[in-house]
Amino acid sequence: MDYTFDFASVVAAWPQFLEGAWLTIQLSFPATVIGFVMGTLCAIGRRSAVRWLSKLCGAYVEVVRNTPLLVQVFLVFFGLSSLGWKVPAFTAALVALVINVAAYSCEIMRAGMDAIHKGQLEAAECLGLTRRQVYWHVILRPAMEKVYPALTSQFVLLMLATSITSQISVEELTATAARVQSETFRPFEAYILVAVAYLALSLLMRAGLWLFGLAVFTRRRRLGTGVAR
């Protein structure tokens, strides 16, 4: 127990950490947005009366949820290059993350959609709305509102899981820590710093998602503040 902390050399590498954090954000943000949209479409597909489509969406979700993310990242990275597609590691990582978060979003959104009372769908149908309009006006927003806490957790998990892409040499936060520690011989300090950085990113992300929820779910905002009219 005579370890003496020395953060000086690690902290001196802050511009590298900043760059790494920026790359982590560049991976997480588009992966979350694209993955959520794809996952929502997948949930609609799963609920479809078209058997093969519903089965296909279900199979996709099961495959992704029952294999490790690291393997998925390798599969996309080496798979694409084996097929002759020369893509940068960043692109391969983004594709793998989208595939992953879409599957989890699909499961979560499906639960939200299934929780909408059948009577509301019938009422919408009786008013003459098409199936697409029913989804857009009656199902989507309340479904998302119901499962928003679960979605938030999943998106934060995804941001943390981007660390895995360091394995295919994407220079995000974790890869930065690895590089800095090999240059400074201060691994403990480097990973403490990177843990703090992830923690800050997580808190920032939760705050952002909370504000987004407040903006989108107007009813919750109005009723929450007790403004009864």
Partner 1 sequence: MTQAPATNPVVVELKDVHKRFGANHVLKGVSFAIPKGQVVAIIGKSGSGKSTALRCIDRLEIIDSGTIEVCGHAVHDPAIDLRRLRQDVGIVFQSYNLFPHLTVEQNITLAPRAVKGLSGADALAIAERTLRQVGLADKAQAYPEQLSGGQQQRVAIARSLAMEPQVMLFDEVTSALDPQLTGEVLRVIEQLAQGGMTMVLVTHEMEFAARVADTIIYMHEGKVWETGPGQMLREPQTPELRDFLSHGL
Residues in contact with partner 1 by the rule CB under 8 A? 117, 119-120, 122-130, 133, 137-138, 141-142, 145, 217, 219, 222-223, 228-229
**Are the beta carbons of 46 and 57 closer than 8 angstroms?**
yes
Give the residue with the Cβ less far from partner 1, 67 or 130: 130
Who contacts 145 (Cβ-Cβ below 8 Å, separation ≥6)?
A: 112, 213, 216, 217, 219, 220
**Are the beta carbons of 14 and 194 closer than 8 angstroms?**
no
Task: Tell me which amino acid residue 113 is.
Answer: M
Task: Count CB-CB contacts under 10 A for residue 200.
Answer: 11
DSSP, res 107? H
Give the residue with the Cβ less far from partner 1, 68 or 119: 119
**Are the beta carbons of 137 and 124 closer than 8 angstroms?**
yes
Give the residue with the Cβ less far from partner 1, 93 or 144: 144
* H or E stretch covering 89: helix 89-114
Q: Closest distance between partner 1 and the C-beta of residue 141, in Å?
A: 5
Q: Closest distance between partner 1 and the C-beta of residue 132, in Å?
A: 10
Q: Closest distance between partner 1 and the C-beta of residue 153, in Å?
A: 22
Give the residue with the Cβ less far from partner 1, 81 or 133: 133
Q: How far apart are CA 172 and CA 174, in angstroms?
A: 6
Q: Closest distance between partner 1 and the C-beta of residue 199, in Å?
A: 34
Question: HEC profile for 105-146?
Answer: HHHHHHHHHHCCCHHHHHHHHHCCCCHHHHHHHHHHHHHHHH
Give the residue with the Cβ less far from partner 1, 141 or 179: 141
Q: Closest distance between partner 1 and the C-beta of residue 137, in Å?
A: 6
